[in-house]
Amino acid sequence: AADDGSWRLLAGILAALIVGVCGGSILVPSSFVPEEYTGLPLLLSLGLAAGVLGVLLFVFYWSCYLKESLSLKADSSLRRALRADVILYGILSGIFWNAGNICQIIAITYLHMPYGVSYPILQCALVVAGLWGIFFFKEVTRCGHIAVFFAGVGILVGGVVLLGLFGPGS
């Protein structure tokens, strides 16, 4: 039998693959919407779906994975976890995430940038997240690892530039 570390690694890889497939497909369903309803009118349904799925995943995580009660009594673990600062930071994260989605929708719908170009540009968020991790949170401190990160940044930016010059719609 595999040890706990192997299962955690496998679960992490599976989760990363799901993120890639779902994230890369985020606006594909909008291609089936009549043209007069595309663009920013889709934001309400996108936000509602994200909110509903977030609540369902939280309930599953809290009750099935952590095996904790969903009680909101004063002494419950859920009540202690639902702190105002945690909720505020989660809301701020959601605002940042959705601002990126809004800008991508604007780029595709109103600036007529192809999805094959706008989505890779959106993935430059990885660069911003990496910079936060390196310089603010100090999650990566070894020079070799930082050099590999910046080599990856160069590849990502180079790919975005090449897609812009020679990709869909060029």
Residue 73 has a CB neighbour count (10 Å cut-off) of: 8
| Pair (88, 119) in one structural domain | no
Asked whether the beta carbons of 157 and 169 are under 8 A apart, the reply is: no
- Asked if residue 61 and residue 125 are part of one domain, the reply reads no
- What average pLDDT does the segment 32-58 reach? 89
Residue 2: the pLDDT is: 58
What is the rounded end-to-end Cα distance, in angstroms, of the chain? 52
Domain boundary among 95, 112, 129: 112
What is the per-residue pLDDT for 164? 83
Per the structure, the complete domain to which residue 53 belongs is given by 36-112
* One domain for residues 52 and 86: yes
| 85 and 151 inside one domain | no
User: Into how many domains does the chain fold?
Assistant: 2
Q: Sorting pLDDT into bands at 50, 70 and 90, what band is 78?
A: confident
Q: In whole angstroms, what is the distance from residue 111 CA to residue 121 CA?
A: 14
Over 90: is that where the pLDDT of 134 sits?
yes
Q: What is the per-residue pLDDT for 144?
A: 98
Residues 103 and 123 in one domain: no
Residues 104 and 118 in one domain: no
Residue 61 lies in a domain: yes
Give yes or no: residues 117 and 107 share one domain. Answer: no
- Let me know if residue 12 belongs to a domain: no
Mean pLDDT of 71-95: 88
Pair (103, 117) in one structural domain: no
Distance CA 42, CA 33 (A): 9
Residue 136 lies in a domain: yes
pLDDT over 60 (residue 1): no
- Residue 129 banded pLDDT, cuts 50, 70, 90: very high
Under 8 Å between Cβ of 124 and 156: yes
pLDDT in tens, 96-122: 988 988 998 899 888 988 888 888 888
Same-domain pairing of 42 and 108? yes
Percentage of the chain modeled with pLDDT above 90? 37
Look at residue 41 in the predicted model and tell me its pLDDT.
87
Is residue 90 in some structural domain? Answer: yes
